[in-house]
Structure 1
Amino acid sequence: MDHSAFQDHILPMGHICFGCGADNPHGMQIRSTWEEGQDVATCTWQPKPHHCGGEDFVNGGVIATVIDCHSFGTAIAWLYRLEGRAMDSAPTTHCVTASMHVDFLRPTPLAQPVILRATPLRVEGRRVTVACSVRSGDVETVRCEGVFVRVSAAAARDRGRSSATR
């Protein structure tokens, strides 16, 4: 089984993404992997002081970004898994975020690692629904359900361009 992070395989824009891009020096550079033998993806991320939304807590928008990138990667990895293909195989699979419903249950402390667990719930046509929970220590702080839509490589590239380059 491949234990590399989903983000290592997501192209064309995955390497510059603010949330998960390894080539974005200002980003959060999250890394998502499958739990051994499970259909659950995990990610552990340590917020930095500039991610604060209050004196000791992570900003809600920052949390939503981390959830989006982790759940997005999980949706793509799930589609590959359902097709019995490695993430590096052709044709490449691309998705875009369609919607996210985020419930902030309690503040997420800034000082300790954030643990995300995402579970694919269903695939309906081109839509993949993923549930994600955020924990700080033993406490669940955020819950989310996101919908990600499979698109062509061209559509993924077009959505990744800024309006200035169109």
Structure 2
Amino acid sequence: MQRELASPFPDRRCFFCGADNPQGLGLRFFYDDATGEISTQYVPEERFVGQGDILHGGIQMGLLDELMGWACVAHSGEMAVTADMRCRFLRPLRIAGRPVRAVCRVTGRQGPKVHMEAVLTDADGAVCMRATGTYHVLSPERYEALVQGNASGAG
């Protein structure tokens, strides 16, 4: 069974998931109880074209980065930031007026580091991009300081 995840972010202006960002994507995220995976769907907009009818690679990477961030929070119950993300583009992801799907699963945790794998598929289910990521879990105080601009350096 899939259930929608509530946003853990008090600031609702995020480009990818913020409900209060009229220019954003307004993504919604779902947790699958059977598989432990987090997913989202999105119909790519023409304004995000790269070349031809291909969804810009930066938007593709952003979709998976956002998804992995949500997966980390869902898995750990704590806020986290991207420490490392590696992407592999496998085939063009065409803007075709149909939804693309992104799915992520947590593969492990070592201390404050949460490791994940994610894929982005086209409307026909073909995998267009794969990514791995490591996200660093932060204490509530460290996260607040980071968001408010009072933090320096890597955590």
Q: Does 1:4 align with 2:4?
A: yes
Contact 1:39–1:119 (CA under 8 A) maintained in structure 2:
yes
Contact 2:4–2:31 (CA under 8 A) maintained in structure 1:
no
| 1:32 Cα deviation from its structure 2 partner | 1.3
| 1:21 Cα deviation from its structure 2 partner | 1.3
Contact 1:134–1:143 (CA under 8 A) maintained in structure 2:
yes
The separation in 2 between residues aligned to 1:56 and 1:2, in whole angstroms, is 31
Deviating beyond 4 angstroms after TM superposition, the runs of 4 or more aligned structure 1 residues are none
Q: Does 1:106 align with 2:104?
A: no
Which of 97, 116, 125 in structure 2 is aligned with 1:130? 116
- Choose between structure 1 and 2: higher helix proportion: 1
| 1:41 Cα deviation from its structure 2 partner | 1.2
Number of aligned pairs?
148
Any idea what SS the aligned residue of 1:50 has?
helix
Q: Percent identity?
A: 24
Q: Does 1:96 align with 2:93?
A: no
Q: Does 1:145 align with 2:143?
A: no
Q: Does 1:116 align with 2:127?
A: no
The separation in 2 between residues aligned to 1:47 and 1:155, in whole angstroms, is 34
Q: Does 1:24 align with 2:24?
A: no
The normalised TM-score by structure 1 is 0.82
The normalised TM-score by structure 2 is 0.87
Please list every run of 5 or more consecutive structure 1 residues that lacks an aligned counterpart in the other structure. 81-92
TM-aligned CA distance change 1:161 to 1:58, over 3 Å: farther
| 1:73 Cα deviation from its structure 2 partner | 0.1
| 1:119 Cα deviation from its structure 2 partner | 0.6
Per-residue deviation, residues 9-61 of structure 1 (Å, max 9, x unmatched): 31233x21111111111111211111242211111111111011112110000
Partner of 1:74: 71
| 1:161 Cα deviation from its structure 2 partner | 4.1
The equivalences for 1:33-72 within 5 A come to 33-72=30-69
